[in-house]
Structure formats: structure tokens, C-alpha cells
Amino acid sequence: MPTVFFTNQLARFIEAPTATVAGGTLAEALEQVFANHPKLRGYILDDQGAIRQHVAIFVDGTQAKDRKRLTDSVSEDSEIHVFQALSGG
């Protein structure tokens, strides 16, 4: 089953433990996490459900391509990493 890891930066604000979830897409995997941690959704996704502008999500080392609908595929043994992006100049 896919495993979702969150940047430790989130622990300053909210509980975001590593989670093993079901799901064939990034959206399905994250929804399972948010079901147990509803407030975490607003930290990762914007009001329309897209990945926040300065959040980066990698599936097995490749950055998620569909930032709006999160349709990127995940497999049984995928590792999903949620980071804060480096921003600014």
C-alpha cells in the first residue's frame, strides 16, 4: 500500500504523521490521510483542491504533474513525499 510522508515543517502547526493508505491515484491516497486529519487538507491543498502553489509532492521521486486534480497514478508500494517548495529569491 502507498505510504505518504510529510515534511517535518508541518509539525510546527499540525499533526502530520506518516500514513499507509489505499488508493490508485494521488488524490485517493491523500483523501485517506485527510479523512483522519481533516485540518491537514488546507495546509496541502488550496480552496479548490489543487496543490498549494508552494507545496511540492513527489510520487516515487517524480514531482506530481497534475496539480489541479491530482490524478497522478500511485502503485501498491509507492512512496509519496509532501514537501514545502523552495520559494523566493
CB of 76 to another protein, least distance (A): 29
Would you give the binding string for another protein spanning residues 4-23, x where CB under 8 A is met? -----xx--xx---------
Cell of residue 42, nine digits: 488546507
Q: Applying CB under 8 A, does 1 fall inside the site for another protein? A: no
Q: CA triplet 13, 18, 22: central angle to 5 degrees? A: 125
Residues forming the site for another protein (CB under 8 A): 9-10, 13-14, 39, 42-44, 46-48, 50, 52, 54-55, 84-85, 87
